[in-house]
Amino acid sequence: MIWSLFKIVLFVVLVATAAIGAGYLLEMDGGVRIAFAGQEFNLTPLKTVIALLTLIVALWLFLKLLSLLVATLKFLNGDETAISRYFDRNRERTGYDALSEGMMALASGEGRVAMAKASKAEKYLRKPELTNLLTAQAAEMAGDRKTAETVYKRLLADDSTRFVGVRGIMKQKLADGDTATALRLAETAFALKPRHIETQDTLLQLQTQDKNWSGARETLRAKLKQGTMPRDVHRRRDAVLALSEAKLVFDEGSSIEAREAAIEANRMSPDLIPAAVMAANGFVEKGQQKNATRLLKKAWNARPHPDLAAAFAAIEPEETPEQRVKRFGVLTKQHPENRETMLLLSELNLAAEDFPAARRALGNLAVEEPDARVLTLMAAIERGEGASDDVVRGWLARALNAPRGPQWVCDKCHNIHTEWVPVCDNCQSFDTLSWKSPPAAEMGATTGLAMLPLIVGEIADNSDDEASDEDEVMEAEIVEDDDADLPEDTDEK
């Protein structure tokens, strides 16, 4: 507002000054006489001023026309001029328009259109660092992988685009299944941009698939140092890598190093069950049963697991079932309501032939969480208490149709593993195995195993001898199938 008022006032002042000056010139006496080529011109003061202004304007126009002529000659000679810059700006505008249209086509999934726009942008811009990436991605979308690889290789020549080229070729090798070449490219990309999160994750995954545990631990430390991984996640995964490294050393025969690595892995992550088991076995081999007991007690407190119970039983392999029940009290007193604690206590009492105590230890698991392990234990308890063969066969038949219970299941692909591994055998994901019940699968037939208890009962009523033979075979199969789910001390039953 003030600036507008100021401009108005200034305009009025200038107009007034010009009017006063023109009046002053009109009132002046005399003038200017010009004699030229026999001609004489007499100019009043006002005409003199007008003539001077006209001369100045004409001179300015002449200089501009002269500069335009000089610029035209320079333009024709190939020099940079205002005219060339004008055309350059138009060409650059056209190139950037083509580049933006190509990016929109790429986002819309039109690979061929994006390639055409990228080619046009390259023609007008002459900036391959901008257009090569668009060309490569458009070629990949259009299925022209050969062109994409050629463009990525061109990006390798420039330091500013080298990382993009390496990453592009790495992703192509991953798509082709060439993990060895992809690993080398991932290492190069990580060296170029160590803070790039996607490159860190890709390198870590490839290193774990290649069982390069020491290299994976270096990558993991880099992720922690650069703030791309929380400290608790780093501690857990570093423990997994340390345990994997220990297993590798153990396979090579260096048990001392493996023992120390397993103890270190257990120290970093006490809830890592395989590390606790390996570390406890290492203490037992050294004759340090107290250290093994302390370690397993801590691991059981973090998370009860049958592998921990088996390792705890291996501390004193020669003890009687009654002694084992007493010694296992340090575990069973922790988390008494936990399902695994209840199963362990039931199995211990079953081995000691204390069948009422075994039944009490199971509680309501047979009703609330009936799986193959629980139902097999119920069959053994009924057998021990002198129940009829029909009752025992009923429990065993239910066990055939029951879920298997908690197992090592991949959180990503739900693949089931018989033992813990750092990398899923199916989807190759790192540290995704959890001890849990797999998703329930529907049975293929509605009248198959679900009808088995009724069929078994009918056979028992009609032919006791034949049923007895079939039951013995059935019980043998059940025991074989469930041995993997029971702790090692169940062999004493």
**pLDDT per residue as tens digits for the range 360-397:** 999 999 888 888 999 999 999 999 999 998 999 999 99
Distance CA 361, CA 380 (A): 14
Q: Which among 221, 219, 178 has a CA at the least distance from the CA of 202?
A: 219
Cα→Cα distances 411→305, 415, 424, Å = 18, 8, 9
Is the Cβ–Cβ distance between 390 and 460 less than 8 Å?
yes
Phi, psi angle pair for 336, to nearest 5°: -60, -25
- pLDDT, residue 444, reads 37
Q: What is the pLDDT of residues 16-73, one digit of tens each?
A: 887 787 676 666 666 666 666 667 666 676 677 777 788 889 999 998 888 878 777 7
Residue 493: pLDDT over 60: no
> Whole-model pTM?
0.62
Does pLDDT of 256 surpass 90? Answer: no
Q: Which residues are 407's β-sheet partners?
A: 436
Instruction: For residue 158, give both structure tokens.
Output: 């420039």
Residue with the bigger pLDDT between 447 and 312: it is 312
Which residue, chain included where needed, has tokens 């088991």?
277
The average pLDDT across 77-103 equals 80
CA of residue 363 relative to chain centroid, distance: 42
Q: Give burial (CB, 10 Å; 0-12/13-18/19+) of 388.
A: exposed
As a whole number of angstroms, the distance between CA 436 and CA 100 comes to 50
In the chain, the percentage of residues whose pLDDT exceeds 90 is: 26
pLDDT digits (tens, 9 = 90+) for 284-327: 888 889 988 988 998 899 889 999 999 999 999 899 999 999 99
Output the pLDDT for position 26: 62
Sign of CA dihedral 52, 55, 61, 66: negative
Q: How far apart are CA 80 and CA 150, in angstroms?
A: 34
pLDDT of residue 466: 39
Distance of CA 388 to the CA centre of its chain: 56
